[in-house]
C-alpha cells in the first residue's frame, strides 16, 4: 500500500467523532486513526492508476421510469384518517418536534 500523503495524516479522529456524537476510548481513537490513514492511502493509490485508455462511462440516458400523471379520484378523507391516532378538523395531528 502506498504511504498516505502528509496532508492526510493529521485528521483529528476525536473531532470527527465529536461531530458524529460518538464517545471513543483511547484505543478506539488509535484504531480509527490507523483505519482512516489506510483508507486515505488506498484513495491515493487510485490517483496513480492510468485510466487514459478507459472509455468514459457515458451513454444513453435511462428511460423515464415515472408513471404518467393521470387525474384520478383521491382517497376519501374518512378512509384516510381511519387509522390516525389523533385527528382534528379533517387533518392528522402529530406531536410538535420543533419548539418555537
Residue 26 within any structural domain of the chain: yes
Q: Say if pTM beats, i.e. exceeds, 0.85.
A: no
Is it the case that residue 85 has pLDDT exceeding 50? yes
Domain that holds residue 33: 13-48
Tell me, yes or no, whether 27 lies in a domain: yes
The mean predicted confidence, pLDDT, of the chain is 85
Q: What pLDDT, on a 0 to 100 scale, did the predictor assign at position 8?
A: 47
For residue 66, pLDDT beyond 90: no
Using an 8 Å Cβ cutoff, are 43 and 2 in contact? no
Question: Within a domain: residue 18?
Answer: yes
Q: Is the residue at 28 inside a domain? A: yes
Number of structural domains (the chain) is: 1
**What span, in angstroms and rounded, lies between the C-alpha atoms of 49 and 42?**
11
Mean pLDDT (whole number) for 41-50: 90
Domain assignment present for 98: no
Beta carbons within 10 angstroms of residue 4's beta carbon: 19
Residue 62 lies in a domain: no
- In the structure, what pLDDT confidence band is assigned to residue 82 with cuts at 50, 70 and 90? very high
Would you say residue 92 lies in a domain? no
- Strands (E) located in the chain: 87-88, 91-92
pLDDT (tens digit per residue) in 2-35: 454 545 456 889 998 999 999 999 999 999 999 9
pLDDT for the residue 21: 93
Cell numbers for 97: 418536534
Amino acid at each position: 500500500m502506498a504511504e498516505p500523503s502528509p496532508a492526510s495524516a493529521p485528521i483529528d479522529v476525536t473531532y470527527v467523532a465529536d461531530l458524529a456524537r460518538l464517545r471513543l476510548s483511547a484505543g478506539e481513537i488509535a484504531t480509527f486513526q490507523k483505519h482512516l490513514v489506510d483508507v486515505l492511502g488506498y484513495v491515493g493509490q487510485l490517483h496513480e492508476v492510468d485510466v487514459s485508455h478507459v472509455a468514459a462511462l457515458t451513454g444513453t440516458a435511462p428511460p423515464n421510469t415515472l408513471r404518467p400523471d393521470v387525474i384520478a379520484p383521491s382517497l376519501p378523507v374518512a378512509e384516510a384518517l381511519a387509522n390516525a391516532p389523533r385527528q382534528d378538523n379533517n387533518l392528522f395531528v402529530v406531536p410538535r418536534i420543533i419548539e418555537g
